[in-house]
């Protein structure tokens, strides 16, 4: 985070709090979140997008809670004027518990349960993003049963393959999310409507006809950790063309368009993120031009950034343990530094081949550096935290290492594999630290074990 710096003893401080103090008070591994950085980034997205689309359209920025959610984080987002995007009943419960106005919450999910839909409608949330034809019928039935109207957006897959890891690209055709714009083979083509026979078109018809459903707009999310604005622009153009077709056939202009999240951040120096202004201006220009071309008035715009808000605000602290010098293939020696966490608190390297960097945080030493690999303590050789990093040769057991840019999808994806306890999350701000999420305890893990023994 921007508020990380070296203190008088050479140790790293974040938000004005020294990492050694944090490690002593809360233990390691520890997720540390800079509240200032989170708020600054949230505000930067909101201001950049509002400015770029003004005066033609208003913008809602939905913080994608899947990246990191706690009642505190939901309130930060809320206080910075953001809405909250949730992707399950559990995330919804946290946002509601935080006191976020339900009208400013959205619910995603490709396989929402009836219970999740019911809960969302009972709470009166602002939008449900429907992911399938079948779901529209279930939303309708539940809305009718509750005597309410469900505000529904349709998640479309505009067929844009974002240049990112396959597992986090979501708008190409052959994957589980959304409704495709491509007609299903064998359906009768209609000259006046290129989308006739597509799942997306069928969903529009269904949502318009379904009792208890109000179709408020279209949504797409092309993937995650994307730098180039081109993919977002292409997707926006496709959705606007689709909006124009809806107007041509049904005579209505849907009022909202959501362009998803996915804005990339810098994990290492090799990454080249764009700032919110650049993304916002590129998108606004494209949306305005496309709406102009189809003579549509601009819909209300929303986006759903997660990683780009919380990722750079987080850092993970580990305590170094065993070190080993291992001769690698090319005659080079690599220092393996094992830390007290690993794939349980950061699954991203093993899942997506993600790269991170690290620094020695407990002291600042110059002099010789070694090519090092930070590994975890789990029983897998793929349990790597940082693949390659030059660290001072003096790094030894008890030193604290800090891995930046771990605010997004590290706590969210954490597990207690090998029955390691999941780390605590602490927020720092102006010299103060506040515990947001407690460290998991062995008692809590054991409490899940029923202790069942077969009757004699
Ligand atoms: N909106 C929708 C509908 C999404 O599916 C996602 C992320 C977002 C917004 C937020 O995307 P972001 O701005 O955070 O990139 N676990 C993976 C990322 C999975 C993203 C899933 N959907 C990772 O650690 O890279």
**Tens-digit pLDDT profile for residues 276-300:** 999 999 999 999 999 999 999 999 9
Which pLDDT belongs to residue 442?
96
**Residue 350 Cβ contacting ligand 1 at under 6 Å:** no
Does 370 or 330 have the greater pLDDT score? 370
Question: What CA–CA distance (Å, rounded) separates 272 from 290?
Answer: 27
Question: Average pLDDT in the 321-345 region?
Answer: 94
Q: Which H or E run includes 386?
A: strand 384-392
Rounded Cα–Cα distance for residues 169 and 171 (Å): 6
**Percent of the chain at pLDDT exceeding 90:** 91
Quick one: pLDDT at residue 159?
86
CA distance 21 to 17: 7
User: pLDDT at residue 46 above 70?
Assistant: yes
The answer to whether the CB of 221 is under 6 A from ligand 1 is yes
> Whose CA is closest to atom 9 on ligand 1?
261
DSSP structural state of residue 99: T
User: Binning pLDDT at 50, 70 and 90, where does residue 169 land?
Assistant: low
HEC states along 160-195?
Answer: CCCCCCHHHECCCCCCCCCEECCCCCCCCCECCECC
Ligand 1 atom with minimal separation from the 413 CA: 16
Q: How confident is the model at residue 164 (pLDDT cuts 50, 70, 90)?
A: low
Tell whether the model's pLDDT for residue 165 goes beyond 70. no
428 in Cβ contact with 22 (< 8 Å): yes
Q: How confident is the model at residue 188 (pLDDT cuts 50, 70, 90)?
A: confident
Taking the CA atoms of 425, 427, 433 and 437 in sequence, report the sign of the dihedral they define: negative
Please check if 352 is assigned to a binding site: yes
Which region, left, alpha or beta, applies to residue 342 given φ > 0 means left and ψ of -120 to 50 means alpha?
left
State whether the beta carbon of 307 lies less than 6 angstroms from ligand 1.
yes
CA nearest to 317, candidates 428, 441, 444, 442: 428
Cα dihedral 109, 140, 204, 236, rounded to 10, equals -30
Q: How many helices (H) and strands (E) does the chain have?
A: 12, 21
* Ligand 1 centre distance from Cα of residue 212 (Å): 29
What's residue 454's pLDDT?
Answer: 93
Active-site residue, from 220, 291, 379, 410: 379
Q: How confident is the model at residue 171 (pLDDT cuts 50, 70, 90)?
A: low
Give the pLDDT confidence score for residue 347 in this predicted structure.
Answer: 98
Kindly state if the Cβ of 258 falls inside 6 Å of ligand 1. no
Report the alpha-carbon distance of residue 152 to residue 146 in Å, rounded.
16
- pLDDT tens profile 199-216: 999 999 999 999 999 999
Query: Which residue has its alpha carbon closest to ligand 1 atom 19?
Result: 168
Reported ipTM: the value is 0.99
Q: At what angle do helices 230-250 and 199-209 cross, to 10 degrees?
A: 50
Spacing, Cα 371 to ligand 1 middle (Å): 32
> Ligand 1: distance of its center to the CA of 308 in Å?
10
3-state secondary structure of 211: coil
Identify whether the C-beta of residue 37 lies closer than 8 Å to the C-beta of residue 2: yes
Residue 306 assigned to a binding site: yes
With beta carbons less than 8 A apart as the criterion, state whether 382 and 344 touch.
no
What mean pLDDT do residues 185-199 have?
92
262 is in an annotated binding site: yes
- Per-residue confidence band for 170, with pLDDT thresholds at 50, 70 and 90: low
Cβ partners under 8 Å of residue 269, min gap 6: 357
The pTM of this model reads: 0.97
Using CB atoms within 10 A of its CB, is residue 451 exposed (0-12), middle (13-18) or buried (19+)? exposed
pLDDT of residue 147: 98
- Residue 312 Cβ < 6 Å to ligand 1: no
User: What's the token pair of residue 158?
Assistant: 């505009």
The span from the CA of 377 to the CA of 335, in Å, is: 15
Q: How far is the CA of 232 from the centre of ligand 1 (A)?
A: 14
Q: What's the 307 CA to ligand 1 centre distance in angstroms?
A: 7
Segment 102-143, tens digit of pLDDT: 999 999 999 999 999 999 999 999 999 999 999 999 999 999
217 and 256 in contact (C-beta within 8 Å)?
yes
Indicate which atom in ligand 1 lies nearest the CA of residue 129: 3
165 Cα to the center of ligand 1, angstroms: 12
Mean predicted lDDT score pLDDT of the chain: 96
56-310 is classed in which CATH architecture? Alpha-Beta Barrel (3.20)
Domain ranges within the chain, ordered by starting residue: 4-34+313-447, 56-310
Say whether 312 counts as a known binding-site residue. Answer: no
By most ligand atoms within 8 Å of CB, the mutation choice from 60, 178, 304 for ligand 1 is 304
Q: How far is the CA of 240 from the centre of ligand 1 (A)?
A: 22
Whether 45 lines ligand 1, by a CB cut-off of 6 Å, is: no
Q: Would you say 307 is a known binding-site residue?
A: yes
Residue 456 pLDDT exceeds 90: no
Residue 27 banded pLDDT, cuts 50, 70, 90: very high
C-alpha of residue 331 to centroid of ligand 1, in Å: 40
- 452 marked ligand binding residue: no
Ligand 1 pocket residue status of 352, Cβ below 6 Å: yes
pLDDT band at 11 (very low <50, low <70, confident <90, very high): very high
Q: Ligand 1: which of 262, 351, 405, 413 to mutate, judged by most atoms within 8 Å of the beta carbon? A: 262
243 close to 220: Cβ distance less than 8 angstroms? no
* Predicted confidence (pLDDT) at residue 167 exceeds the cutoff of 70: no
State residue 328's pLDDT score.
87
Strand ranges (E), 59-144: 59-64, 83-86, 105-107, 127-130
Q: What is the mean pLDDT of residues 61-82?
A: 98
pLDDT of residue 187: 87
Contacts of 8 (CB under 8 A, 6+ apart): none
Cβ density class 297-314: b for 16+ within 10 Å, e for less = ebbbbbbbbbbbbbbbbb
Which CATH code for domain 4-34+313-447? Answer: 2.40.37.10
What is the structure's pLDDT at 163?
A: 65
Residue nearest to atom 5 of ligand 1 (CA): 221
The greatest distance separating any two alpha carbons of the chain, rounded to the nearest whole angstrom, comes to 78
Q: What is the pLDDT of residues 382-431, one digit of tens each?
A: 999 999 999 999 999 999 999 999 999 999 999 999 999 999 999 999 99
| 379 labelled catalytic | yes
Q: Are the beta carbons of 385 and 403 closer than 8 angstroms?
A: yes
**Residue nearest ligand 1's atom 23 by CA:** 409
Q: With a 6 A CB cut-off, is 67 part of the ligand 1 pocket?
A: yes
Q: How would residue 174 be classed by pLDDT, with cut points 50, 70 and 90?
A: confident
Shortest-distance Cα residue to atom 3 of ligand 1: 221
Closest Cα to atom 16 of ligand 1 = 409
């Amino acid at each position: 985070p921007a508020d990380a710096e070296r203190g008088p003893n050479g140790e790293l401080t974040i938000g004005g709090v020294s990492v050694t103090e944090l490690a002593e008070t809360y233990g390691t591994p520890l997720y540390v979140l800079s509240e200032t950085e989170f708020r600054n980034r949230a505000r930067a997205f909101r201001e950049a997008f509002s400015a770029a689309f003004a005066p033609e359209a208003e913008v809602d920025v939905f913080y994608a809670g899947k990246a990191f959610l706690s009642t505190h984080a939901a309130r930060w987002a809320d206080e910075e004027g953001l809405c909250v995007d949730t992707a399950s009943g559990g995330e919804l419960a946290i946002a509601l518990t935080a006191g976020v106005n339900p009208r400013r919450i959205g619910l995603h999910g490709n396989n929402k349960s009836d219970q999740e839909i019911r809960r969302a409608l009972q709470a009166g949330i602002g939008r449900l993003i429907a992911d399938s034809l079948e779901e529209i019928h279930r939303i309708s039935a539940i809305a009718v049963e509750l005597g309410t109207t469900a505000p529904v957006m349709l998640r479309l897959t505009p067929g844009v393959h974002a240049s990112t890891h396959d597992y986090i690209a979501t708008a190409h055709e052959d994957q589980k999310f959304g409704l495709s714009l491509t007609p299903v083979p064998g359906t009768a083509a209609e000259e006046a409507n290129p989308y006739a026979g597509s799942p997306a078109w069928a969903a529009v018809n269904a949502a318009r006809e379904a009792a208890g459903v109000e179709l408020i707009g279209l949504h797409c999310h092309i993937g995650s950790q994307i730098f180039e604005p081109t993919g977002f622009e292409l997707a926006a153009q496709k959705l606007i063309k689709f909006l124009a077709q809806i107007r041509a056939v049904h005579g209505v202009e849907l009022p909202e368009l959501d362009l998803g999240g996915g804005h990339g951040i810098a994990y290492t120096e090799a990454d080249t993120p764009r700032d919110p202004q650049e993304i916002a201006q590129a998108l606004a220009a494209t949306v305005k031009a496309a709406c102009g071309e189809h003579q549509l008035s601009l819909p209300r715009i929303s986006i759903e950034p997660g990683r780009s808000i919380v990722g750079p605000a987080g850092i993970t602290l580990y305590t170094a343990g065993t070190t080993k010098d291992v001769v690698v293939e090319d005659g080079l020696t690599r220092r393996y530094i094992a830390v007290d966490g690993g794939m349980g608190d950061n699954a991203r390297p093993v899942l997506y081949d993600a790269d991170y960097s690290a620094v020695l945080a407990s002291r600042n030493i110059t002099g010789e550096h070694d090519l090092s690999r930070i590994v975890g303590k789990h029983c897998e050789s793929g349990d790597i935290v940082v693949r390659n990093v030059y660290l001072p040769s003096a790094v030894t057991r008890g030193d604290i290492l800090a891995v930046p840019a771990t605010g997004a999808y590290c706590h969210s994806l954490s597990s207690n594999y090998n029955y390691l306890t999941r780390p605590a999350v602490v927020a720092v701000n102006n010299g103060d630290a506040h515990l947001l999420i407690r460290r998991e305890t062995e008692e809590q893990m054991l409490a899940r074990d029923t202790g069942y023994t077969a009757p004699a």
